Structure 1
Amino acid sequence: MMGSGVPWPPSQVLLNVGGKKYATTVDTLTQREPESMLGAMFSGRHTVSTDDVTGMIFIDRDGKHFRHILNWLRDGIIPTLQDSEYQELLREAEYYQLLGLVDNINTSLNKRKDNDGSVAELSRTEIIKCIQSDRVRFRGVNLSGLDLSKLDLSFVDFSYSCIRKTNFSRANLQKAKFGDAEAEDSIFQDAILRECELIGANLHGALLDRANLQSANLQDACLTGCSLYEADLRSAHLQSAKLTGANLKGANLEGANLKGAKLNSANLQGANLQRAYLREVDLRDSKLDGAKLGGANLLGAIR
């Protein structure tokens, strides 16, 4: 049973977090991150309900990770954890609005080296701060391995950037620029890429399932081994694009310009290629079962 709320005195604080009990002080909870939920809760501006019998304050969150929260507030350090545990701690830090801890966790995650040894130069938190400004450019910046999923990155300039294994799933990237970007194995699943500029971009092995690429410009882009399952590529510009071995099963390429594109060994089963411009396209060993080719221009195509 919870007692009536009373102002919390500046002394020891007893907490019950998800069934685990902790003892700390008001100073610990308020000094490092005063703008956090915990800082506001124990600032003296609010009343805090306590259990009449134990004198404890109950917080309905994961008690296992709260010890790391307290250690951060006490010493300003984060523990060495596995990536999955960092993700769990990150959720708790975001709940308590501990922005300093969130930033440090993201920095630790994002500085994990990818296969070629490069390291991301910015964290997700820094990216969010940047995109709140009116004009955003990340030209030539290394953002490899970052989780940028679900962010509004429309109109952002990523030209010449290194974005290997970067997660853009469900992000809004409408009219963003990726010209000559290095984006191998990056994830654009369910992302909005309408009218994007991807001229000459290296997207080898990228995941673009169900991405909206309507009217996007992918001229000369490398999409070898990409998965574009059920992607929307209506009216997209794919002249001379390399799509060897790409999975375009169920993709909508209606009205797309693929002149000179390499689609050899690609999976185009059930794809909509109606009114597509397929002149001089390499279709050797490609799978076209169930593909719609009505009105497509196949003059000079290699089959």
Structure 2
Amino acid sequence: MCATDCSSVVRLNIGGKKFCTTVDTLTQREPDSMLSAMFSGRHTVSQDSNNGYVFVDRDGKHFRHILNWLRDGVVPTLKDSEYSELLREAEYYQLLGLIAGIGDVLNNKRKENEELDTELTRTDIIKCIQSEKVRFRGLNLSGLDLSKLDLSYVDFSYACLKSVFFSRANLQCAKFRDVDAEGSIFHNASLRECEFTGANLRGALLAGANLQSANLQDACLVDCSFCGADLRSAHLQTADLTNANLEGANLEGANLKGAKLSKANLKGANLQRAYLRQVNLRDAQSMEGAKLNGANMMGAIR
């Protein structure tokens, strides 16, 4: 199918769920998305000859929300756990506007609740970081909005950082040893040389983050998103990256010895000169386009 008529009907089969929309809907609101690229007329899209549906191998659970966003530009009202699922789909389809919209919704929810469960407020944090050698070891900072702050060299070790919003913060050389940061957002944050040894980052969003030389040994990185993240020379030994999304991430020179990559997405990842000894690459969901030049793969399963 060559889509040239913007009003033409498109039939989609998303993981077995069927949808009907138009080329106009798929291309106008998010012109840089994967869906726009598919149906802009620049590419030929294969249809099932029997029913005319275009098949996309993704879970169709949240695709109606994707379509409604493209139609109306409104982020749906969902349970907190469902926002993380929708976020993964938005990342897959490269819907940058929806990703930002979900981030705003989660940020507003955190602001509403930050006084209820935390020991400090954002204002308290700002006052504290004006002094040297700041330490928040073992504190409960869950749900705080700490975005865009300069938190370099701050010690958060053993703290509860669930659902903290660190987007675009400067966290260079900060310590997160054994923290519980499940569901936190580090989107586009600077995390160079940070220590996350033993940390729980399950479901965290680290898309676009700078993690050069960061130490993530033994960390729980299940369901994390590292899309486009810079992980050059990062330490990921025995880290659990089950179901993590590393699409387009730069892992050049990273050490992944013994890391778990079950169902991880490494599509287009740069693994040049990475240390991959004892890593089971067969478990990865996708290695399409991954660069492995010069990687140490002794004992790795391919």
Please state which band the TM-score falls in when normalised by the shorter chain.
Answer: 0.5 to 0.7
- 1:198-222 CA-to-partner distances (Å, cap 9, x unmatched) read 1000000000000000000000011
Alpha-carbon shift at residue 299 of structure 1 (Å): 1.4
Query: Which residue number in structure 2 is paired with residue 179 of structure 1?
Result: 177
Match of 2:212 in 1: 214
Question: What displacement does 1:266 show?
Answer: 0.4
* Aligned match for 2:159, one of 146, 158, 161: 161
* Structure 1 segment 187-266 matched on structure 2, within 5 A: 187-266=185-264
Residue-by-residue CA offset, 1:126-153 (whole Å, 9 max, x unaligned) = 0000001112000000000000000000
1:110 aligns with 2:108: no
Letter in structure 2 aligned against 1:298: M
Structure 2: gaps of 5 or more residues: 1-103
Bigger radius of gyration among the two:
1
Tell whether 2:144 aligns with 1:146.
yes
Instruction: State the TM-score, normalizing by the size of structure 1.
Output: 0.62
Question: Does residue 296 of structure 2 align to residue 292 of structure 1?
Answer: no
Deviation at 1:285, TM superposition (A): 3.2
CA distance in 2, matches of 1:217, 1:135: 20
1:282 CA displacement: 2.4
Which one-letter code corresponds to 1:227 in the other structure? S
Mapped partners of 1:242, 1:302: distance in 2:
17
For 1:288 and 1:209, the matched residues in 2 are separated by 18
Q: Deviation of residue 261 (structure 1)?
A: 0.4
Corresponding position of 1:64: none
Q: Deviations 1:175-234 (Å, cap 9, x if unpaired)?
A: 000000000000000000000011000000000000000000000011011000000000
Shift, 1:301, TM fit = 1.4
SS in 1 for 2:124: helix
| SS of match in other structure, 1:284 | helix
SS of residue matched to 2:127: helix
CA distance in 1 between counterparts of 2:165 and 2:301 reads: 35
Question: Alpha-carbon deviation of 1:297?
Answer: 1.1
Give the letter for the 2:251 counterpart.
L
Structure 1 residue 284, shift from structure 2 partner: 3.0
**How does the TM-score come out when normalised to structure 2?**
0.63
Name the residue aligned to 2:12.
none
CA distance in 2: counterparts of 1:291 and 1:150, whole angstroms: 32
1:170 aligns with 2:168: yes
CA positional deviation for 1:109: 3.5
CA contact (8 A) 1:265 1:284 kept: no
Q: State the number of aligned residues.
A: 196
Query: Does the CA contact (< 8 Å) of 1:265 and 1:283 recur in 2?
Result: no
Residue ranges of structure 1 left out of the alignment (5+ in a row):
1-82, 88-104, 113-118
Deviation at 1:264, TM superposition (A): 1.6
Partner of 1:302: 301
1:111 Cα deviation from its structure 2 partner: 2.9
Matches within 5 A, 1:35-184: 109-112=113-116, 119-184=117-182
User: Does the CA-based 8 Å contact 1:173-1:191 persist in structure 2?
Assistant: yes
**Percent identity (aligned):** 70
Alignment RMSD? 1.8
Report Cα offsets for 1:151-189 as digits up to 9, x if no partner: 000000000000000000000000000000000000000
Deviation by residue 1:47-83 (Cα, 9 ceiling, x = unmatched): xxxxxxxxxxxxxxxxxxxxxxxxxxxxxxxxxxxx9
